Amino acid sequence: MRFSKSVKVARTKPSTPPSADDCCSTRALWGWSPPPLPADSASKRRIDRVLPSTGTLAALFYVAVVALLIAAPYLPKRAELAVDGLAALAGGGWCGANFWRCRHAHCLVTGAGWLGLSVLAFAEAVAGYSLIQGNEQLVFLGVLVVALGFEGAWYLLRGTNAVRLR
């Protein structure tokens, strides 16, 4: 049995290496994660190896940060502040590295906010008392809410959740 209709094959352009301006579509990876920038240095390749971005390792990292925040109030004041600082340092370090590699809009805010909170919490641990009346965890959550709001606004204005320099 023969068919008289032929099938046309669409021709595509050969793939080219991504540039900083065209690296991500408006819906990269189902609208959540922009693809990472090219790993053009040893430090970028090292971060890509150790920074879990998806899957079980990423989930375990989130669980570890939440576990630190849950355990902290049951510790003496200095230890509580140090553990809150450790959780903020872990979250801020992850988001700072993730912003450097993938440009998530929320990571711009969470990276800076949580790293700043970690400095404050560690200074409070050294002093032995909280300068913000024990609201370190509320500040942690507040930074997250502001960051997600920023990413939502960025997406509505720019059509992508990746911050790109022009």
Rounded Cα distance between 131 and 116, Å, is 14
Q: What pLDDT, on a 0 to 100 scale, did the predictor assign at position 27? A: 40
Domain for residue 112, yes or no?
Answer: yes
Domain for residue 85, yes or no?
Answer: yes
Q: What pLDDT, on a 0 to 100 scale, did the predictor assign at position 10? A: 41
Please report, rounded to a whole number, the percentage of residues in the chain having pLDDT higher than 90. 55
Domain for residue 63, yes or no?
Answer: no
Q: Which of 141, 160, 143 is nearest to 151 (CA)?
A: 160
Domain enclosing residue 163, as ranges:
70-166
How many domains is the chain built from? Answer: 1
Digit-coded pLDDT (tens) for 37-70: 777 888 888 887 888 767 788 899 999 999 999 9
pTM summary value: 0.77
Digit-coded pLDDT (tens) for 22-40: 444 344 344 456 676 777 8
Domain for residue 59, yes or no?
Answer: no
Q: What pLDDT, on a 0 to 100 scale, did the predictor assign at position 39? A: 78
Give the residue ranges of the chain where pLDDT is below 50.
1, 3, 5-31
Cβ atoms of 119 and 74 within 8 Å: the answer is no
